[in-house]
Copies of this chain bind each other. A is one copy, B any other.
Amino acid sequence: MKSLVSRCPIEEVMQILSGRWPTLLIYYLKQGTKRFSDLRRDNPTISHKMLTLELRKLEDAGIVERTEFDGYPLRVEYQLTPAGHRLVPLIDALGEWWETTSSAAAQCSSVDAEPVIPNTVSRD
């Protein structure tokens, strides 16, 4: 989905939140400041390419803030912006809606639980 088809804010948000990673990253970032490698540990199945791309997208959208500490090994920290924090309950609401809608599985209730550990562990 690269271009928009309507000029509706809803389509614009979905352009940012669509896909597997944006909401998961927001999920982990609401726990506080995280470094690149922390986020990779949080979801071992994301490739570094995807992670940088998604973080960049969230940054451009004003949802996360990137802080670069120079010095070497070079350290970068990511955290939710105020706008990002305001977004969290809306996403949680979707999760809750889904839980009540589908009689199926119910884990990771909203703010506390962890998204039941991602599967394969690939390091590179």
Contact = CB atoms under 8 A, between A and B. Distances in A.
A14 B20 contact: yes
Please state the number of chain copies in the assembly.
2
Most buried by B among A9, A95, A102: A9
Interface of A: 1, 5-15, 17-20, 22-24, 27, 43, 45, 61-62, 83, 86-87, 90-99, 101-102, 105-108, 115-119
A78 B97 CA distance: 21
A94 B5 contact: no
- If over half of A's interface residues share one DSSP class (helix, strand or loop), that class is named, otherwise mixed; here it is helix
A114 to B, nearest CB: 8
Contacts of A14: 17-20, 22-23, 94
A32 to B, nearest CB: 18
Contact of A6 (B15, B93, B98, B116): B116
10 contacts: A6-B43, A8-B95, A9-B102, A9-B105, A10-B115, A13-B94, A13-B95, A13-B98, A18-B18, A83-B97
Contact of A105 (B7, B15, B45, B61): B7
A87 B95 CA distance: 11
A13 B92 CA distance: 10
